[in-house]
Amino acid sequence: MPSEPVSQSHLTELLVPGTRVVLRCRLASSQVEPGGPTLTDVVGDVAEVTADAVVLDTRNGAVPVDRSSIVLAKRIPPARPRRAPRSHPLLQPTRSRMTASSPSDGPNSPSLGEEAVARDLLEALMVAGMPPLDSAHVGDWLLRAANGYTGRANSVLAVGDPGVPLDAAVEQVVAWYAERDQPALIQLPHATDADPAASTLGSVLAQQDWHFFLRTSVMTRRTPNSESAANGAALRVEVSDEPTDDWWHTASSRALAHRDTLGRMLERVRPAAYLTAYLDDRPIGHLRLALADGWSGVFDVHTDPAARGRGVARALMRQAERTASERRIPLQYLQVAADNHAAVGLYRSLGWQTHHEYHYARPTDH
């Protein structure tokens, strides 16, 4: 087995979009367990080739591979057709869908744009971070409900083919939520700054006089190699695997009003990490991490109003970086209202970039 990267000229000839290949790649030192393998294989169809990376369409989704890590590349016969899954793919346990550069990549590493991580794939992955308590599907669409707590857990993720005409699919959506005494709500992922009404589904909803609202940014970044750092004498952040009493103490009033529902949802988020910020031993803020499929999802960033302006959110986000780095989770995502300029500014200052956006849509009579 060669120990040096394969020549780039050979890769250029071999990696033609549409061909099926197996790539043997060298793992980053931070990804190698003591005594463990130093190489890994990735099998899939070549989707895209750039100067620095090749993206393979694998059975678990799009996988970007750093060209400099490739030590062997070989074309193989096309894959045999696979049967469709028996149940909705977004509800299935998943293996790691993505590989990426090691957590040692710094905050100035290339952003995880839509060319590297498919929008629909990321949306599917994020479902596990705020899971519904009740769900169904209309074709590929995922219908979610959780007693009305959060839009993400109480909306249709309209990704893929509903399997029926759009008018009929929307009618089924409205009926399903009516059975649960909830208003119909549809989540419409789209490119940054796009008009949600311009999509095929969006135009159907607009014709039915649905209202589009709450533009939300999905932001991503590679996990930086954050050294463990001692907390300051006054402000410190503690991490636990379960929500502690202090973590709940710093929850927002809305979260506390739905504590039973949220608690049941959090029982479904495994593994997870719960971060609590303290100022002079008083809990003043918290954050939650959903850890799955090589991604660390940031949720529930909240600071006690009386403690705002003291860098609490920044301290929580820095500890979230360290936690992901320590657990060797290479990628991170979060979702934030696009008009929350203070939060967006904080995240951008920490190296996050917008991957895509989404709007919600609801009938105008609600």
* Same-domain pairing of 144 and 204: yes
* Same-domain pairing of 157 and 246: no
User: At which of 78, 108, 135 does a domain end?
Assistant: 78
Contacts of 157 (CB under 8 A, 6+ apart): 90, 123, 124, 127, 141, 142, 144, 187, 189
* Same-domain pairing of 206 and 228: no
* H helix or E strand, kind and range, residue 273: strand 272-279
Within a domain: residue 165?
Answer: yes
pLDDT, residue 5, reads 53
* Same-domain pairing of 252 and 198: no
* Same-domain pairing of 44 and 138: no
Within a domain: residue 342?
Answer: no
According to DSSP, the β-strands at 353-363 and 141-145 are unpaired
Backbone angles phi, psi at 87, to 5 degrees: -130, 175
At residue 103 the predicted structure's pLDDT band, cuts being 50, 70 and 90, is: very low
Count how many domains the chain has: 3
Output Rg (C-alpha) for the chain, integer angstroms.
22
* Same-domain pairing of 324 and 243: yes
Q: What is the CATH number of the domain that holds 309?
A: 3.40.630.30
Within a domain: residue 57?
Answer: yes
The structure tokens listed for 272 are: 């997870």
* Same-domain pairing of 319 and 248: yes
For residue 92, the one-letter residue type is: Q
Q: 239: closest CA among 273, 267, 288?
A: 273
Within a domain: residue 96?
Answer: no
* Same-domain pairing of 314 and 248: yes
* Same-domain pairing of 174 and 234: no
Q: Which of 11-15, 20-24, 112-116, 322-326 tops mean pLDDT?
A: 322-326
How confident is the model over 207-262, as pLDDT tens digits? 999 999 999 999 999 998 876 554 555 789 999 999 999 999 999 999 999 999 99
User: Which is more confidently placed, 227 or 326?
Assistant: 326
- In whole angstroms, give the CA distance from residue 356 to residue 217: 6
User: Which is more confidently placed, 92 or 284?
Assistant: 284
- In whole angstroms, give the CA distance from residue 108 to residue 111: 8
pLDDT, residue 105, reads 36
User: Which is more confidently placed, 282 or 308?
Assistant: 282
* Same-domain pairing of 13 and 54: yes
Within a domain: residue 146?
Answer: yes
Within a domain: residue 101?
Answer: no
Backbone angles phi, psi at 99, to 5 degrees: -120, 155
* Same-domain pairing of 195 and 169: yes
Domain span at residue 29 reads: 8-78
Judge residue 140's burial from the number of C-beta atoms within 10 Å of its C-beta, 0-12 exposed, 13-18 middle, 19 or more buried.
middle
Instruction: Name the pTM for this structure.
Output: 0.69
247 and 255 Cβ atoms separated by less than 8 Å: no
Q: What is the CATH number of the domain that holds 18?
A: 2.30.30.520
How confident is the model over 337-358, as pLDDT tens digits? 999 999 999 999 999 999 999 9
Q: 271: closest CA among 288, 256, 249, 259?
A: 288
User: Between the CA of residue 21 and those of 6, 65, 101, what are the distances in Å?
Assistant: 14, 12, 20
With vertex at residue 147, the alpha carbon angle to CA 290 and CA 189, rounded to the nearest 5 degrees, is: 55
Within a domain: residue 85?
Answer: no
pLDDT, residue 175, reads 95
Within a domain: residue 274?
Answer: yes
* Same-domain pairing of 177 and 138: yes
